[in-house]
Amino acid sequence: MKNDCTVDKFISCFKDITFNIVCKPIKKIKVSDTTLSASEKDLKKMLAKAKRELSKARKSNKHNKLSNEDLLRFESRVNEIKDEIQKLNDDTDNSDI
């Protein structure tokens, strides 16, 4: 919007001259499918590792070697990675439209 205002001000300074303004659409950057699958693959590896760590943390918590707050951190990390995978999948689904 700001650019339109600037262009209008510029054109108003030269009332005797006719300007032909051509606006080109902005191209979206498309990420290759191989990059997306590699990212998803890395996230899934991270998720598997986080789940293993969560399992160990639960056992440690059960034996009173780990606090509930620390256990909550492990659980939130697993949920964060799941959300990132879901977001990546949603973005790829929306970009196909």
| More reliable by pLDDT, 27 or 54 | 54
Q: What is the pLDDT of residues 69-86, one digit of tens each?
A: 999 999 999 999 999 999
Lowest-pLDDT range of 27-36, 49-58, 60-69, 76-85: 27-36
Cβ proximity of 43 and 84 under 8 Å: yes
Cα separation, 85 vs 13, in Å, equals 53
Q: Is residue 35 part of a domain?
A: yes
Q: Is residue 61 part of a domain?
A: yes
Helix/strand/coil (H, E, C) string of 60-91? HHHCCCCCHHHHHHHHHHHHHHHHHHHHHHHH
Cβ proximity of 57 and 70 under 8 Å: yes
Q: Is residue 80 part of a domain?
A: yes
Q: Is residue 11 part of a domain?
A: no
Concatenated DSSP letters of 10-47: HHHH-TTS-----PPPPPPPPPPHHHHHHHHHHHHHHH
Cα separation, 97 vs 86, in Å, equals 17
Structural domain of residue 74, as residue ranges?
A: 28-95
Q: How many domains does the chain have?
A: 1
Q: Is residue 54 part of a domain?
A: yes
Q: Is residue 34 part of a domain?
A: yes
Query: Does 5 score more than 80 pLDDT?
Result: no
Q: What is the pTM of this model?
A: 0.62
Q: Is residue 21 part of a domain?
A: no
Q: Structure tokens of 29?
A: 């950057």
Q: Is residue 1 part of a domain?
A: no
